[in-house]
Copies of this chain bind each other. A is one copy, B any other.
Amino acid sequence: MTSLHSVETPAALIDVQRMQRNIERMQTRMDHLGVRFRPHVKTAKCPDVTRAQVAAGARGITVSTLKEAEQFFAAGITDILYAVGIAPDKLPRALALCQRGCDLTLIVDNIDAAHALNDFGKAHGATFEVWIEIDSDGHRAGIKPEDDALPEIAHALQKGGMTLGGVMTHAGSSYDHSTPDALRQIAEQERAAAVRAAQRLREAGLPCPAVSVGSTPTALSAEHLEGVTEVRAGVYVFFDLVMHNVGVCTLDDIALSVLTTVIGHQQEKGWAIVDAGWMAMSRDRGTQKQTHDFGFGQVCTDSGTVLEGYVLSGANQEHGIVSCRVDVDHDIRQRFPIGTRLRILPNHACATGAQHPEYKVLLSDDSIETRPRFYGW
């Protein structure tokens, strides 16, 4: 039996009990709110993680790249929403996936992309299911629910032979909030925008079966989801320090960490040098502007107990600096001798996971299994 002790560092470690708890928490909530749940698999990029989500009740998945769509289709999942506005150049690859039996849904948020889709469809005798991306908070892409271009895009797609499947939105600005009130408010804003867009399409005589919303903070904060048919969320499966600062998880919910080894000290500075730098943690400094700045991560013992006040305060490519946030710890060499193994909780699970070719999965009997994850486009 492989144990934690034999795992080479740095390594991305999944605490499967925590992950399972996170999956059940979200699915229970979605069941209670009466909506389908379509997890975003960009966080883990690991079919085994998604199997656990599906086993708990998830229906279909959300992806951020066509590579994810291809990999998860190969793993047996057919209902896939590609939640990034389709670039015309990617259509041949999307079509190939559909022709192999994948139920792939594309999104657009502008008339030019709709025309490109129609032109491609005409040229190749292809029909795609298309949803329209709605802008519910101004943070990124999407068209506003009241924009005149909304029915125009929908009519164009319908006329071009595409299947109008619905609307979707993502209130990514929910990450900027940290009180239950503000989170409830942005969740309601996200819901209302999607429902209003659907209403406008239906008023124009257009079909809009799917009304899809979601982000981890809004999914966990919505009071009701009237008019919504499905929710999407990704990072909840692992959670992270950013989500902790947002207020939707405790430190003990964080299921992903980076296992590292102490390789040196600068005692007069109170530093322990570890073998997890930004290559293992990612360069994500998502907590920098939040109420609690965790540096590059929160330090825990190798068994996962949080070491209050100790953070990864600096990171080079393959070196990390562990130090105490409040005081210079002159006993750092005695506290963390050479060879000491620590777990570091990440700022952003999606970014940290992406740095690793595989996960070491810590099971409930303390054994370790290795699960590959993929990357690239």
Q: Tell me whether A351 and B263 are in contact (CB under 8 A).
A: no
Cβ–Cβ contact A338 & B116, under 8 A: yes
Check B85 against A264 for contact (C-beta < 8 Å): yes
- Do A318 and B64 touch across chains, with their CB atoms under 8 A apart? yes
Query: Of the 9-residue stretches A73-81, A107-115, A216-224, A361-369, which lies at the interface with chain B?
Result: A107-115
Point out the residue from B9, B84, B264 that lies within 8 Å of A263, measured CB to CB: B84
A25 at the interface (CB under 8 A from B): no
A350 CB contact (under 8 Å) in B112, B314, B317: B317
Point out the residue from B93, B264, B348 that lies within 8 Å of A8, measured CB to CB: B93
Flag A342-375 by CB within 8 Å of B: 1 or 0 each.
Answer: 0000001011001111100000000000000001
Judge whether A261 is part of the interface by a CB distance below 8 angstroms. Answer: yes
Copy count, this protein chain: 2
Residues from chain B with Cβ under 8 Å of A34 in the complex: none
Residue A86 interfacial (CB < 8 Å): yes
Stretch of A51-59, A180-188, A282-290, A303-311 contacting B (4+ beta carbons < 8 Å): A282-290
A38 at the interface (CB under 8 A from B): no
Closest to A338 in B: B112
**A101 contacts the other chain (CB 8 A):** no
A interface list, Cβ under 8 A from B: 8-11, 42, 64-65, 84-90, 93, 109-110, 112-113, 116, 135, 138, 140-141, 172, 261-266, 269, 273, 275, 278-280, 282-285, 314, 316-319, 321, 337-339, 348, 350-351, 354-358, 375-377
Q: How far, in Å, is A243 (CB) from chain B's closest CB?
A: 15
Given A172-B316, A263-B86, A285-B283, verify A112-B337 contact (CB < 8 Å): yes
User: What residues of B have a CB within 8 angstroms of the CB of A356 in the complex?
Assistant: 376
Determine the chain B residues whose CB is within 8 A of the CB of A318 once the complex forms: 42, 64-65, 84
Question: Contact partner of A87 among B135, B141, B269, B339, CB < 8 A?
Answer: B339
- Chain B residues with CB under 8 Å of A140's CB are 273, 314, 316, 319, 321
Tell me if A264 and B113 are in contact (CB < 8 A): yes
In the complex, A282→B86 CA distance in Å? 22
Contact A351 B278 (CB under 8 A): yes
Residues of chain B lying within 8 A (CB to CB) of residue A172: 316
